[in-house]
Amino acid sequence: MTLEQLAFISEVEAAGTIVAAARNLYVSHTTVSRAISSLEDELGFAIFDRSRRGSTLTDKGAEAIRLARIILENAENLKQLGESRETGALHIGAYPIGPTTFLQDVVSRFNHVYPEYTIFLNHAGVNDIIAGVRDLTLDFGLICCLPELWSSVRASVQVTELFESNLVIICSPDSPLSKKPFVTPNDLKHETFILQSEEQVLYMMQHVFFPGDMPPISMFSNNNELIKTTVMSNHMIATYVEMVIADDPLVKSGRLACVPIKLGAELYKLKYLYVRPLKKRISAAERTFIRLMPF
């Protein structure tokens, strides 16, 4: 059993397929497949059930992944014993950041483990975050990504999917839309929108929801408070990631309604991704930060 084999099974579980994992690791898929088969032979059980749709964990495989990641993290910590922990910093790009976000809890818990570290958490657009990760001005990024743009993001950075979240509209509780279990683009084509100043949002509107004729757009802004108060007072609508907006005080108090968007037969979901440089070694501090995230 080798650390390389453990790294391979961890990456396959994160990426979903052997081919995707091999691409992230810069090795051939044959190398990854043979290493996993050898490890399975040594352990005496299958870690993955393989099919054309990807690799899914067996029950014992799930426990193997958990233990493998503990071993990999401890190995990384051993490598860094000789490095100074007197000071340090993590430069993180994140989009979106809401008023009540899980990141607040992660940062607090991280500071207990690494009190000597300073976190620079930058709220920026997705393209700016990817550029910062690529040119190493950011250690890593946490971004929401449209499923239609998933492949283009993977082209320039390492990508791990953390979770999916529904895309929702926020609207006045007096709006007829608020009474619906979900809304469709057809329900929204005559509504007036306030959009966040983010290229992906405009792409989504132009190419995914309204490819023929865009609805009215009143304003672009990155000021969340301005967006929410304008929606409340002017009976407009805005789009948000459910994970970000669901616990907002205005939503929880009923002053804003939150309704998922359905596209075709399914609710429309965005992927929340952890993106990092292609060839930079992950630090123990970064690994700890990601491990503390609740997914």
**In terms of DSSP bridges, do strands 88-95 and 262-263 run parallel, antiparallel, or are they unpaired?**
unpaired
Q: What is the pLDDT of residues 84-101, one digit of tens each?
A: 555 589 999 998 766 546
Tell me how long the chain is.
295
HSE (CB half, 13 Å, CA atoms) of 120?
9
Looking at residue 199, what is its pLDDT?
86
Say if residues 276 and 165 touch (Cβ distance below 8 Å). no
What is the residue-averaged pLDDT of the chain?
A: 88
- 165-269 has the same fold as 88-162+271-291: yes
| Short-list 168, 180, 149, CA closest to 244 | 168
Domain spanning 88-162+271-291, CATH class: alpha beta
Q: What is the pLDDT of residues 20-47, one digit of tens each?
A: 888 877 788 899 999 999 999 999 999 9
d(CA 163, CA 15): 12
List, in sequence order, every residue forming a beta bridge with 262; answer none if it has no partner: 267
Give pTM, 2 decimals. Answer: 0.69
List, in sequence order, every residue forming a beta bridge with 164; answer none if it has no partner: 271
CATH 3.40.190.10 fits domain 165-269: yes
List b or e across 141-169, with b for residues whose CB sees 16 or more CB atoms inside 10 angstroms: bbbbbbeebeeebbeebbbeebeebbbbb
Tokens 């965005």 map to which residue? 270
Looking at residue 100, what is its pLDDT?
46
Domain boundaries, the chain: 3-79, 88-162+271-291, 165-269
- Assign domain 3-79 one CATH number from 1.10.10.10, 1.10.3720.10, 3.10.20.30, 3.90.1300.10: 1.10.10.10
Crossing angle between the packed helical segments 3-15 and 59-79, to the nearest 10 degrees: 120
Indicate whether 83 pLDDT > 80. no
List, in sequence order, every residue forming a beta bridge with 273; answer none if it has no partner: 143, 161
Mean predicted confidence (pLDDT) in 181-187: 96
Burial label for 72, CB within 10 Å (0-12, 13-18, 19+), is middle
3-state secondary structure of 84: coil
Which band of pLDDT confidence, cut at 50, 70 and 90, is reported for residue 253? very high
Mean predicted confidence (pLDDT) in 112-133: 90
